[in-house]
């Protein structure tokens, strides 16, 4: 699906020509900025202590401070298990067997012994040779009734995810087991620094714990092997023009005014909340088949639902008038690094785990569109355009490398203080993930819920809403993390998550059941 629309080929050639000119004019900047940064990076690698490892380009963008600084970007797993009480010792034994029991596994999953540390101008990975699972995996509070009280649980886990309180002797991850006081159920929580794992790795780890091996429904395509050298050269040359087009789109647009009580400039200190729900996966699949089959992306259907619910929330809950809404809303989709090393059967270099991410920036009509089907189709056009110009591949090659070369403090300040107009393209993030459709079990108990939320309070300080839908075991589990700068309280966020998302999905399906005009169908 390299070119979904005939005109994209010619647009891409135009981007290639413009990009070549931009690269040529950028030669002085490359010589006087990028080249010295490369020499600085090389000097660090020569003189650094032998036990420190450089993070890869993708990982480095997400590691903006050492673990002990308590600046965090965390991802988590939330397992709800029934019936039964999960034994802490048995789970530690399972964890050890899955990830640490052989030298090969310890190499592949070495990040379970890692912390982020600072040395010189950059952050590094420090891997401990010994992992104490008794300190890493513990029994959680027993007096809060968290298993039975969903509201209290969501409030508690939002605070837990927004906190980095790993003891100095611990690696940058933590496991907590919660037991039901009245229900015969358990909750398993795993949290890890986002620089050490990404969504694809996280899904792989969940499949391993459930005894399903590598039963992911798909592998990340290895574009490095599939794409010709000519195509790679075109993507590289066109990237400055393609990315400039996005930046100008952000500059022309407006941020989503979540509610009239929002206080500008409070993003850095805004408290994060979380809300969990389940959507009808069968309905999502029917919409996908009805509109365009394999030609429509899973994330496009979900992005259309999120955009529709967000617009409705702004108008109904936020007290915002239609004229204050942006013409379109951006929903970046982080995507896995092509040729993802976590999928390798044998990893001799210890690079199996990590955050091998890239991204493509998808947009949906917002203020100007009320028809959910038109919103979906326009969103699909934007993601197909991004694929036709190699946006995600160029991001990994170029933006990832520039971020890797940039000293950590400068990179952190750049992300924190970039133009509000540009940051508007990062305010909402959507990361759909696909796990095995088979029912999951953990140590004999049924997995009745599995969420994979993300919190980024100190990484992307402009981000106000982070939605992670996970297709797993025949269900669609949705985690919504958001700041109080956007949603003023938990009740308000719950209405968006637990009511509006499902209603917008049903509205989209009802529209799809009507006859589609032939010109709108994506082939």
Helix (H/G/I), strand (E/B), else coil: 421: helix
For the cut 50, the answer to whether the pLDDT of residue 442 exceeds it is: yes
Q: What's the per-residue H, E or C state across 180-238?
A: CCCCCCEEEEEEEEHHHCCHHHHHHHHHHHCCCCCCCCCCCCCHHHHCCHHHHHHHHHH
pLDDT of residue 6: 40
Which one of 114-118, 248-252, 308-312, 315-319 scores highest in mean pLDDT? Answer: 308-312
Architecture per CATH, 62-209: 2-Layer Sandwich (3.30)
Sorted by where each begins, the domain ranges of the chain are: 6-50+225-338+356-439+465-515, 62-209
Question: Strands 454-455 and 173-179, how do they pair?
Answer: unpaired
pLDDT of residue 83: 93
Kindly give the interhelix angle for 229-252 and 6-25, rounded to the nearest 10 degrees.
90
For the cut 90, the answer to whether the pLDDT of residue 163 exceeds it is: no
- The better pLDDT of the pair 183, 414 is held by 183
Residue 303 binned pLDDT confidence (cut-offs 50, 70, 90): very high
Residue 494 binned pLDDT confidence (cut-offs 50, 70, 90): very high
How far is Cα 235 from Cα 295, in angstroms, rounded to an integer? 22
Q: What is the DSSP string of 106-159?
A: HHHTGGGGEEEEEETTEEEEEE-S---HHHHEEE--SSS-TTT-HHHHHHHHHH
For the cut 80, the answer to whether the pLDDT of residue 361 exceeds it is: yes
For the cut 50, the answer to whether the pLDDT of residue 1 exceeds it is: no
How far is Cα 50 from Cα 62, in angstroms, rounded to an integer? 23
Q: What is the dihedral of CA 163, 401, 237, 198, to 10 degrees?
A: -40
Tell me whether residue 348 is exposed, middle or buried, using C-beta atoms within 10 angstroms of its C-beta: 0 to 12, 13 to 18, 19 or more.
exposed
Residue 277 binned pLDDT confidence (cut-offs 50, 70, 90): very high
pLDDT of residue 283: 94
For the cut 50, the answer to whether the pLDDT of residue 5 exceeds it is: no
For the cut 50, the answer to whether the pLDDT of residue 523 exceeds it is: no
Domains 6-50+225-338+356-439+465-515 and 62-209 agree in fold: yes
Which one of 118-127, 171-180, 354-363, 375-384 scores highest in mean pLDDT? Answer: 171-180
Question: Strands 137-139 and 173-179, how do they pair?
Answer: parallel
Residue range 506-515, pLDDT digits in tens: 999 999 888 5
**N-to-C CA span, the chain:** 10
pLDDT of residue 309: 96
pLDDT of residue 384: 84
Residue-averaged pLDDT of the chain: 83
HSE-CB at 326 with a 13 A cutoff on CA atoms is 22
pLDDT of residue 268: 45
pLDDT of residue 451: 96
Residue 425 binned pLDDT confidence (cut-offs 50, 70, 90): low
HSE-CB at 517 with a 13 A cutoff on CA atoms is 5
User: By the 8 A CB rule, do 442 and 403 touch?
Assistant: no
pLDDT of residue 269: 46
Architecture per CATH, 6-50+225-338+356-439+465-515: 2-Layer Sandwich (3.30)
Q: For residue 291, give the nearest of 378, 221, 362 by alpha carbon.
A: 378
What is the share, in percent, of the chain residues with pLDDT greater than 90? 35
- pTM over the 0.85 mark: yes
Average pLDDT (424-443) is: 86
How far is Cα 223 from Cα 356, in angstroms, rounded to an integer? 14
pLDDT of residue 251: 67
How far is Cα 208 from Cα 215, in angstroms, rounded to an integer? 9
- The better pLDDT of the pair 289, 72 is held by 289
Kindly give the interhelix angle for 501-513 and 372-388, rounded to the nearest 10 degrees.
90
350, β-bridge pairs: none
pLDDT of residue 4: 40
Sign, CA dihedral 348-350-353-355, equals negative
């Amino acid at each position: 699906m390299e070119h979904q629309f005939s005109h994209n080929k010619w647009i891409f050639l135009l981007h290639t020509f413009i990009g070549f000119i931009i690269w040529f004019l950028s030669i002085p900047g490359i010589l006087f900025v990028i080249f010295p940064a490369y020499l600085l990076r090389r000097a660090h690698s020569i003189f650094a202590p032998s036990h420190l490892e450089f993070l890869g380009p993708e990982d480095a963008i997400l590691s903006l401070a050492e673990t002990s600084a308590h600046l965090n970007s965390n991802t988590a797993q939330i397992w709800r298990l029934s019936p039964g009480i999960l034994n802490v010792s048995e789970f530690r034994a399972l964890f050890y067997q899955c990830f640490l029991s052989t030298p090969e596994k310890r190499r592949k999953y070495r990040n379970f012994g890692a912390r982020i540390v600072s040395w010189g101008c950059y952050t590094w990975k420090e891997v401990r040779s010994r992992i104490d699972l008794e300190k890493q995996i513990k029994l959680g509070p027993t007096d809060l009734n968290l298993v039975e009280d969903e509201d209290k649980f969501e409030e508690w886990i939002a605070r837990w995810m927004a906190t980095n309180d790993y003891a100095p002797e611990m690696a940058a991850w933590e496991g907590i087991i919660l037991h039901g006081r009245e229900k015969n159920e358990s909750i398993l929580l795993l949290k890890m620094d986002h620089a050490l794992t990404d969504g694809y790795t996280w899904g792989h780890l969940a499949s391993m714990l459930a005894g399903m091996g590598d039963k992911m429904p798909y592998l990340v395509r290895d574009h490095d092997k599939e794409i010709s050298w000519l195509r790679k050269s075109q993507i590289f040359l066109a990237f400055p023009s393609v990315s400039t087009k996005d930046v100008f789109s952000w500059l022309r647009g407006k941020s989503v005014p979540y509610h009239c009580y929002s206080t500008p400039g409070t993003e850095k200190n805004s408290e994060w909340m979380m809300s969990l729900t389940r959507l009808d996966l069968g309905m999502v699949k029917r919409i996908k088949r009805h509109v365009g089959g394999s030609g429509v992306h899973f994330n496009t259907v979900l992005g259309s639902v999120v955009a529709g619910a967000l617009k409705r929330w702004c108008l109904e809950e936020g007290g915002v008038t239609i004229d204050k809404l942006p013409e379109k809303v951006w929903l970046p989709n982080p995507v896995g690094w092509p040729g993802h090393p976590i999928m390798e059967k044998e990893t001799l270099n210890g690079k199996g785990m990590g955050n091998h991410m890239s991204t493509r920036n998808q947009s949906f009509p917002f203020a100007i569109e009320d028809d959910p089907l038109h919103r979906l189709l326009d969103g699909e056009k934007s993601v197909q355009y991004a694929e036709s110009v190699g946006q995600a591949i160029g991001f990994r090659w170029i933006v990832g490398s520039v971020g890797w070369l940039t000293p950590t403090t400068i990179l952190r300040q750049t992300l924190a203080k970039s133009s509000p107009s540009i940051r508007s393209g990062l305010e909402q993030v959507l990361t759909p993930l696909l796990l095995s459709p088979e029912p999951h079990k953990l140590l004999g108990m049924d997995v009745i819920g599995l969420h994979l939320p993300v919190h980024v309070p100190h990484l992307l300080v402009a981000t106000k809403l982070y939605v992670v839908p996970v297709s797993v075991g025949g269900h669609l589990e949705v985690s919504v993390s958001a700041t109080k700068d956007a949603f003023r309280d938990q009740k308000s966020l719950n209405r968006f998550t637990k009511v509006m998302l499902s209603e917008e999905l049903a509205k989209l399906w009802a529209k799809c059941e009507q006859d589609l005009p032939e010109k709108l169908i994506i082939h």
